[in-house]
Structure 1
């Protein structure tokens, strides 16, 4: 073997060792480092001010939520848009609500998510829409939030604040958009997130399809419903709206939509009705 061949082989071995270290050992080292970092007192104040019910959670769940928030903020980038400046309050407020959805899940929060874009208020999204004749037109739609499959969530900060000012109205843009992120982890944003068993999928499909059809009827007939009629748009929006209602109006959902509440309780491994 020539000296050039030996050098090439050593380079390949070094690259292989680096890949093995990155894939197998680094995640554990990184998690250990994050666990050892104290949860800043300023973050704790923001957490309890924005989500006061957190103080009612068992101590183990409070500590788990803090760890998830630390991991989330270490992994995700925040970008201010249209003049919005990013500060600690924005980062912790959004991270806390996003991490609430993955509490008790024994997982890294939102591995496919890279960044959160924050506008000061309603932003305009551009969409190309085809009519029944196949003609494509460009629509400009005012948005409060949006979840992208390409690893981004977009939020209007004033609506985020509105969501945490009233935690009982069933309207929360952070919970809504991050529910879409969970939904997309199955490979398709269709109202069915990753579940553990085939039986769980069958039960989910049965309950959610019935509830979705009922909400569509309520929407078409102009009837009042516990869940926002926007959830009647499609199954993906129904899951997101149901998530908002589950966390913000749990007792009403448990009373009037018992099977749906149970499905969400099993999925999120939480019972907000006890908070």
Structure 2
């Protein structure tokens, strides 16, 4: 009898495991099909002007993505912050921009977003001269953790959304890291469709990263700036910010990088965005 109970439980668990993706897909389709709340539309118009630039089909798709994102990803206030719908929709709209073109899930590793009123402090080990490692406190506007959390400063989220032409967007930056971290730590090489895609991506991005560092070392300015030269992961995240906010400028200065990002995101924002 006990063996039959165990077998029944095992079969039940297997059936749930097989059916769960189907149920999740159905639930998401229902969420996307729901009317987008009028109050949320007003928030997008007021807080996220980049949405109005999207072609109509992409605006519609973005709204569906927002509905699923907010149904599945808790946004939790920290340091006394009370999270409002204005904050939730503003965060979600920008977080879903990198999902517009390619079907790659809704940041499957992400469990929650932690939202702070402003910059927050973290401690990180720093290598000092002589091989000494010491913890150093730093104020950050955002951070993406492999453990399934994104930390954001609401002040910086709001500022990034308000100016869609400056190439600086902390939400896009940190969610690019989330895409990069799908298979582990961020290294500037998110999962791609094939080995050939990976080889091309690695060659293009490494060459551009090296060129950027060389330019900066010689005092030559670049659209991507100093922070993109600190690590390949930051190069990808900063380039993603420019891809969505200053696509024409990125295509002009770094055409090969733009082409790789267009393939990855399956979008061509230079055709419909400013910058």
Is 1:201 the equivalent of 2:198?
Answer: yes
| Match runs of 1:226-237 below 5 Å | 226-237=223-234
Describe the shift of the 1:244–1:7 C-alpha distance in structure 2 as closer, same or farther (beyond 3 A).
closer
2:84 aligned residue (84, 87, 93): 87
1:46: which partner in 2? Answer: 43
After the TM superposition, which of the residue ranges 233-242 and 245-254 deviates more from structure 2?
245-254
**Alignment check: 8 A CA contact 2:101 2:265 kept:** yes
Is 1:25 the equivalent of 2:22?
Answer: yes
After the TM superposition, which of the residue ranges 262-271 and 232-241 deviates more from structure 2?
262-271
Is 1:176 the equivalent of 2:173?
Answer: yes
1:76 aligned residue (68, 73, 77): 73
Is 1:135 the equivalent of 2:146?
Answer: no
Q: Give the superposition deviation at 1:187.
A: 2.9
Q: Give the superposition deviation at 1:156.
A: 0.8
Q: Distance in 2 between matches of 1:223 and 1:72?
A: 40
1:241: which partner in 2? Answer: 238
Describe the shift of the 1:9–1:252 C-alpha distance in structure 2 as closer, same or farther (beyond 3 A).
closer
Q: Distance in 1 between matches of 2:10 and 2:174?
A: 43
Q: Give the superposition deviation at 1:127.
A: 1.2
Q: Give the superposition deviation at 1:36.
A: 3.2
Q: Give the superposition deviation at 1:134.
A: 4.0
Q: Give the superposition deviation at 1:32.
A: 3.2
| Match runs of 1:1-275 below 5 Å | 3-21=1-19, 23-131=20-128, 133-275=130-272
Q: What is the number of equivalent residue pairs in this alignment?
A: 272
1:154 aligns to what SS in structure 2? strand
Q: Which structure 1 segments of 5+ residues have no match?
A: none
TM-score, reference length from structure 2: 0.91
2:122 aligns to what SS in structure 1? strand
Map Cα deviations across residues 201-229 of structure 1 (whole Å, 9 max, x no partner): 12211211121112112332332111121
Q: Distance in 2 between matches of 1:202 and 1:6?
A: 51
After the TM superposition, which of the residue ranges 254-263 and 220-229 deviates more from structure 2?
220-229
Q: Which structure 2 segments of 5+ residues have no match?
A: none
Describe the shift of the 1:96–1:5 C-alpha distance in structure 2 as closer, same or farther (beyond 3 A).
same
Q: Distance in 1 between matches of 2:253 and 2:116?
A: 36
**Alignment check: 8 A CA contact 1:144 1:173 kept:** yes
**Alignment check: 8 A CA contact 1:147 1:154 kept:** yes
Describe the shift of the 1:134–1:87 C-alpha distance in structure 2 as closer, same or farther (beyond 3 A).
same
